[in-house]
Homo-oligomer: A and B are copies of this chain.
Amino acid sequence: MAASAGPEIERLISLLAKLPGLGPRSARRAALALLKRREQLLVPLAASLAETAEKVVSCSVCGTPDTRDPCAICSDGARDNGLICVVEEAGALWAMERSGAFRGKYHVLGGLLSALDGVGPEHLRITELVGRVRGGGVREVVLALPATVDGQTTAHYVAERIGGPGVEVTSLARGVPVGGDLDWLDDGTIVQALKARRPA
Contacts and interface: CB of A to CB of B under 8 A. Distances in A.
A17 to B, nearest CB: 11
Contacts of A94: 1-2, 4-5, 28
Nearest to A51: B8
A35 B52 contact: yes
Contact of A15 (B1, B16, B41): B41
Contacts of A29: 20-21, 91
A150 B93 CA distance: 44
A30 B26 contact: no
Q: How many copies of the chain does the oligomer comprise? A: 2
The contact size tier of chain A is 35 or more
A49 B49 contact: yes
Question: Which of the listed residues A29, A43, A94 has the most CB atoms from chain B within 10 Å of its own CB?
Answer: A94
Interface string A3-34: 11110110110011011111000101110111
Interface of A: 1-6, 8-9, 11-12, 15-16, 18-22, 26, 28-30, 32-38, 41-46, 48-53, 55-56, 64-68, 72-73, 89-91, 93-94, 97-98, 110
26 contacts: A2-B97, A5-B65, A6-B65, A8-B51, A8-B67, A9-B52, A9-B66, A12-B45, A12-B49, A12-B52, A15-B44, A18-B41, A19-B22, A19-B30, A20-B29, A20-B30, A21-B21, A21-B26, A28-B91, A32-B90, A35-B52, A35-B90, A38-B53, A42-B53, A46-B52, A49-B49
